[in-house]
């Protein structure tokens, strides 16, 4: 028995030896790769089907997102209502999401119900009908949502800054227009669905308390899909030549949305993990310099943050905040001042230790369950990273020095490299 009269020793997160539980890999009879984590205290699991069916693949705007949304709109066996009622009966969730390169269909269920639910997943992936009634309802809803969002400065700023960074014709910079919904039709959606879901590239990620016959269940469901390789061909970015923009979106607005962003390498670049440490010092958590200055000292905003995007191809370093429109320019000035300090002065040891402990503590918290662990491996697999990427990242965070951070700041935190946008 522990001696309760003695306080436990306080250990910094930086002193922990973090390990990422290894996955087990299966290969189905048609070549589909399955990455699994068998862990957890409860009899639940999550099955994520990842298809290379994002907007990178579409030839017409909104096709990828719409096709993904309408996966649950019904099959020849069940209409949308009956399909969702069946899933609800088993207390399960079936969610879908569409990203730039990939799209997902994710099943969360009690382990014992997997045999009953996998046939429904297969039905959706092989026999989705996407009827005109469901498509018309989707278009009507999304157009109304777009009209509302276009009145919000943060929504407008978010789509414009991506366009400035990557170009309006690039998948990362392309944004939604109302007329794009009117151009959608069922035949185009079904063609995309056949190419990228029925016959596209599929990767499975499964985590939780896994049944002993998982491989057989997955082979029965997915093993006969006619999967084919899908190439994510590079697309050249066409960034804007002008760097500074001021947009008047609402004459009655009292608040503005500020975005500062610059191109940045993806996760394969050796600067990515060190830059995550620098970003945390700069604006990556509540105790960051941007928060201390612009929120706590100046009171310009309720919150400001910076982050590195997580795209598979090109990336960006983004600073984002909403502030009173009369202090937006002053906010930008203070952001540049913080950049200058990082370029000229060394981060002191106490601040750096705090940031390292924050980062490693956050990672430790993220590894408290099988779903979070498989999420880490999914990131490694989809980005094509080395198997030891996690461990190397941990070592980089632990060992990085103030001198290295200053060197990175001089390389990447130069105001001339940043696109600057204010929307009011």
Count of all residues that appear for the chain in the document: 424
Pair 189, 315 in one domain:
no
3, part of any domain: no
Residues 198 and 320 in one domain: no
- Domain boundary residue, one of 159, 191, 222: 222
Tell me which of 222, 257, 276 is where a domain ends. Answer: 222
Q: Are residues 215 and 296 in the same domain?
A: no
Pairing relationship of beta strands 419-423 and 244-247 according to DSSP bridges = parallel
Whether 2 is covered by a domain: the verdict is: no
Q: How far apart are CA 163 and CA 308, in angstroms?
A: 17
Residues 306 and 201 in one domain: no
Task: Find the helix or strand (DSSP H, E) in which 68 lies.
Answer: helix 63-69
Q: What is the pLDDT along the chain (424 residues), one digit of tens a residue?
A: 678 888 877 777 787 788 899 999 999 999 999 999 999 889 999 999 999 999 999 999 999 999 999 999 999 988 999 999 999 999 999 999 999 999 999 999 999 999 999 999 999 999 999 999 999 999 999 999 999 999 999 999 999 999 999 999 999 999 999 999 999 999 999 999 999 999 999 999 999 999 999 999 999 999 999 888 888 888 889 999 999 999 999 988 899 999 999 999 999 999 999 999 999 999 999 999 999 999 999 999 999 999 999 998 889 999 999 999 999 999 999 999 999 999 999 999 999 999 999 999 999 888 889 999 999 999 999 999 999 999 999 999 999 999 999 999 999 999 999 999 999 9
259 and 400 fall within a common domain: yes
φ and ψ of 233, to 5 deg = -70, 140
Domain that holds residue 287: 244-423
- Using alpha carbons only, give the angle 84, 90, 93 rounded to the nearest 5 degrees: 55
Token readout for 371 is 């779903």
- Counted domains in the chain: 2
Q: Are residues 198 and 287 in the same domain?
A: no
User: Could you tell me if residue 178 is inside a domain?
Assistant: yes
Does 397 lie in the same domain as 323?
A: yes
User: In terms of domains, do 147 and 41 share one?
Assistant: yes
Clarify whether residues 124 and 167 are in a common domain: yes
What CATH number is associated with residue 312? Answer: 3.30.830.10
Residues 191 and 272 in one domain: no
Kindly state whether residues 328 and 415 are assigned to the same domain.
Answer: yes
- The beta-strand segments (E) located in 272-415 are 304-308, 315-324
228 assigned to some structural domain: no
> Cβ(93)–Cβ(83) under 8 Å?
no
**Which helix (H) or strand (E) segment is 141 a member of?**
helix 132-149
Same domain, 212 and 251: no
Nearest residue to 32 via CA among 286, 166, 221, 240: 221
pTM reported for the whole predicted model: 0.92
Q: Which of these, 260, 276, 257, lies nearest to 360 by C-alpha position? A: 276
The domain boundary, picked from 165, 192, 222, lies at 222
């Amino acid at each position: 028995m522990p001696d309760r009269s003695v306080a436990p020793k306080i250990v910094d997160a930086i002193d922990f030896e973090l390990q990422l539980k290894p996955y087990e890999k299966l290969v189905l009879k048609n070549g589909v790769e399955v990455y699994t984590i068998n862990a957890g205290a409860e009899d639940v699991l999550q099955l994520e089907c990842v298809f290379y069916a994002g907007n990178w693949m579409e030839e017409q705007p909104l096709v990828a997102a719409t096709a993904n949304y309408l996966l649950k709109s019904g099959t020849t066996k069940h209409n949308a209502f009956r399909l969702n009622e069946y899933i609800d009966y088993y207390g399960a969730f079936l969610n879908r999401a569409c990203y730039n390169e990939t799209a997902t269909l994710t099943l969360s269920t009690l382990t014992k119900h997997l045999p009953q639910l996998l046939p429904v997943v297969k039905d959706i992936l092989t026999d989705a009908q996407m009827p005109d009634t469901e498509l018309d309802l989707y278009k009507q809803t999304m157009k109304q949502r777009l009209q509302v969002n276009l009145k919000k400065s943060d929504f407008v700023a978010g789509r414009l800054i991506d366009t400035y960074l990557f170009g309006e014709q690039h998948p990362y910079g392309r944004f939604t227009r109302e007329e794009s919904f009117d151009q959608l039709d069922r035949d185009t959606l079904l063609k995309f669905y056949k190419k990228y879901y029925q016959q596209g590239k599929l990767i499975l990620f499964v985590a939780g308390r896994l049944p002993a016959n998982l491989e057989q269940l997955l082979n029965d469901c997915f093993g006969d899909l006619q999967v084919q390789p899908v190439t994510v061909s590079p697309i050249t970015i066409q960034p804007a030549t002008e760097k500074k923009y001021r947009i008047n979106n609402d004459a009655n607005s009292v608040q503005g949305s500020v975005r500062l962003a610059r191109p940045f390498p993806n996760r394969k670049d050796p600067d990515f993990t060190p830059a995550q440490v620098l970003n945390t010092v700069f604006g990556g958590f509540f105790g960051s310099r941007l928060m201390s200055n612009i929120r706590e000292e100046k009171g310009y905003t309720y919150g400001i943050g910076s982050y590195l995007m997580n795209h598979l191809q090109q990336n960006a370093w983004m600073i984002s905040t909403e502030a009173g429109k009369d202090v937006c320019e002053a906010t930008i000035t203070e952001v540049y001042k913080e950049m200058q300090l990082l370029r000229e002065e060394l981060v002191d040891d106490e601040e750096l230790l705090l940031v390292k402990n924050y980062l490693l503590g956050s990672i430790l918290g993220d590894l408290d369950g099988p779903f979070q662990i498989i999420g880490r491996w999914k990131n490694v697999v989809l980005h094509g990273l080395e198997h030891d990427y996690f461990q190397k990242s941990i070592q980089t965070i632990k060992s990085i020095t103030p001198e290295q951070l200053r060197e990175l700041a001089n390389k990447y935190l130069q105001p001339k490299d940043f696109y600057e946008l204010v929307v009011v």
